């Protein structure tokens, strides 16, 4: 009976490892920023170490492998702490949190992890987190709950932060993305509590994997609303944003819809090549992303070298001021990337104060102004 249980535990961990490896290999640049991808992959790498150490540990714990299991238990518990830490880093990167811009935050955020790792690495001598009894059976030590709380603290902070951001999400799709990430916490917390009372079940492996699969699957679905080149929202996301917000517009809460494109973009492609043209689009995309985060406005790549910006509410800047601020953001991004040519936008806009206005009319009015401005530049 014990052999059957041990084999079943082993097979569960093998299945978890295979699925995690597949996700790790498939997670790519279209599913997040460079930082998001880095932290998500590190989370998965430590999760895999946790699972693989359990594959070996279960045979040791029930006497089928006659070796000391302490080293595998240290790897196991340390890996779960590091996985929690990198999940926290992934969520903060996903939120484009202002906190990550401060060095002090990075220093302070490492402190709970350092304490947990210190407890774990010294536990072979102190037996405070875990120990092996006279029958070579794994047992929880008196500070196991403390270590667990330190690890779960990262998940709690990340979840609380993302829950606070849900109401500020630009679209229903983004709100749903944040909600899925927030739900991740439920599974490891439930598994951790169960593990305190019923030891030696593969519940943590399964719970973390379930949350990971949910987030990964949603990230695949979210690609429908993202532009892979610029990492901005795409036209479908812009259509959804207008659909969500048009019913609430009024004279006191207007929407401004801006349509922009890059001046002389064909010349950039012709003189510098299409790879440089893609680089120019990425620079504009980064500038618009940073601007939209700072000003809490919506930005998307409409198609080709066209981008749209949507501002709403009585406190939105005057349209011409918005255009100037966006151009300043592009100038800054272009300088940082050492762009050798002028990277300028032309922009048209329209104001909507009635929910009865059609989206097509809104776009057409902005398009008309855009091309009037472009024509005036070309004839000047």
Query: Count of alpha carbons within 13 Å of 10, Cβ hemisphere only?
Result: 14
| pLDDT, position 110 | 93
300 neighbors 227 (Cβ within 8 angstroms) = yes
The 10 Å Cβ neighbour count of residue 162 is 24
Counting other chains too, the contacts that 105-110 makes at CB distance below 8 Å and 24 or more residues apart are 109/85, 110/85
State how beta strands 298-303 and 345-352 pair. unpaired
Contact 140, 199 (CB under 8 A): yes
Q: Domain spans of the chain? A: 2-225, 235-379
CB contact at 8 A, 246 and 312: no
| Residue 90 tokens, joined | 């992934």
State residue 99's pLDDT score.
Answer: 76
pLDDT score of 11: 93
User: Using the 8-state DSSP alphabet, how is residue 185 labeled?
Assistant: T
Enumerate the β-bridge partners of residue 347: 260
> Residue 321: CB partners within 8 Å, gap ≥ 6?
none
Task: Confirm whether pTM is higher than 0.85.
Answer: no
Residues 108-123 pLDDT 10s: 899 999 999 999 999 9
Look up residue 340 and give its DSSP letter.
S
User: 5: how many CB neighbours lie within 10 A of its CB?
Assistant: 13
Provide the greatest CA pair distance for the chain: 90
138-140 vs 298-303, strand pairing mode:
unpaired
| Separation CA 159–CA 271 (nearest Å) | 48
- What is the 8-class DSSP label of residue 233? B
Return the pLDDT at 58.
87
Residue-wise over 117-137: b if at least 16 C-beta within 10 A, else e?
bebbeebbeeebbbbbeeeee
Give the 3-state secondary structure of residue 143.
coil
Which of 131, 158, 144, 137 lies closest to 193 in space, CA to CA? 144
User: Do 230 and 285 form a contact (C-beta atoms < 8 A)?
Assistant: yes
- Read off the pLDDT of residues 9-55 as tens digits, 9 standing for 90 and up: 999 999 999 999 999 998 876 666 778 888 999 999 999 999 999 99
Token pair for 78: 């340390």
Looking at residue 114, its pLDDT comes to: 95
DSSP per-residue string spanning 18-51: HHHHHHHHH--GGGS-HHHHHHHHHHHHHHHHHH
What's the DSSP call for residue 228?
T
Which has the closest alpha carbon to 76: 208, 214, 215? Answer: 208
pLDDT per residue of the chain (380 residues) written in tens, 0 to 9: 688 888 989 999 999 999 999 999 988 766 667 788 889 999 999 999 999 999 998 888 788 888 888 898 899 999 999 999 999 999 988 887 777 777 888 888 999 999 999 999 999 999 999 888 877 777 888 998 898 888 889 988 998 888 888 877 766 777 888 888 888 888 887 887 777 777 777 888 898 999 999 988 888 777 778 887 887 889 988 988 898 888 889 988 899 999 999 998 999 999 989 888 899 999 999 899 889 888 888 999 998 999 999 998 877 888 899 999 999 999 999 998 888 888 999 999 999 999 888 888 999 999 999 988 877 766 55
Q: Which residue reads 């349209």 in tokens?
A: 319
pLDDT at position 259 is 95
CATH number attached to the domain at 235-379: 3.30.70.270
Architecture per CATH, domain 2-225, reads as Up-down Bundle (1.20)
User: What backbone phi and psi angles, to 5 degrees, belong to 175?
Assistant: -60, -40
- Tell me the backbone φ, ψ of residue 305, rounded to 5 degrees: -105, 20
């Amino acid at each position: 009976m014990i052999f059957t249980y041990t084999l079943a535990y082993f097979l569960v961990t093998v299945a978890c490892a295979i699925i995690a490896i597949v996700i790790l290999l498939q997670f790519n640049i279209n599913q997040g920023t460079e930082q998001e991808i880095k932290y998500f992959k590190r989370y998965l790498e430590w999760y895999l170490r946790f699972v693989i150490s359990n594959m070996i540990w279960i045979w040791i714990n029930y006497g089928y492998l006659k070796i000391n299991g302490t080293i595998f238990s240290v790897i196991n518990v340390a890996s779960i702490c590091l996985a929690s830490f990198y999940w926290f880093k992934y969520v903060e990167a996903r939120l484009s949190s202002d906190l990550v811009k401060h060095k002090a935050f990075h220093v302070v955020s490492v402190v709970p992890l350092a304490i947990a790792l210190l407890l774990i690495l010294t536990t072979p001598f102190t037996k405070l987190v875990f120990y092996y009894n006279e029958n070579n059976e794994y047992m929880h030590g008196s500070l196991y709950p403390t270590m667990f709380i330190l690890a779960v603290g990262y998940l709690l902070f990340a979840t609380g932060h993302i829950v606070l951001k849900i109401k500020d999400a630009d679209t229903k799709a983004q709100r749903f993305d944040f909600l899925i990430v927030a739900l991740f916490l439920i599974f490891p917390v439930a598994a951790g509590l169960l593990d305190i009372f019923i030891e030696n079940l593969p519940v943590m492996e399964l719970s973390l994997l379930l949350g990971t699969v949910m987030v990964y699957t949603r990230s695949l679905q979210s690609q429908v609303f993202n532009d892979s080149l610029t990492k901005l929202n795409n036209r479908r996301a812009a259509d959804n944003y207008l659909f969500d917000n048009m019913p609430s517009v009024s004279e006191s809460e207007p929407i401004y819809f801006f349509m922009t494109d890059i001046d002389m973009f064909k010349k950039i492609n012709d003189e510098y090549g299409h790879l440089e043209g893609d680089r120019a689009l990425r620079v504009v995309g980064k500038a618009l992303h940073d601007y939209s985060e700072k000003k809490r406005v919506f930005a998307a790549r409409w198609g080709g070298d066209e981008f749209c910006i949507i501002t709403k509410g009585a406190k939105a800047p005057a349209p011409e001021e918005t255009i100037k601020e966006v151009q300043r953001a592009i100038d800054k991004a272009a300088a940082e990337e050492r762009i050798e040519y002028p990277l300028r936008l032309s922009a048209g806009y329209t104001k909507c104060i009635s929910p009865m206005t059609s989206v097509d009319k809104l776009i057409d009015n902005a398009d008309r102004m855009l091309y009037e401005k472009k024509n005036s530049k070309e004839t000047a």
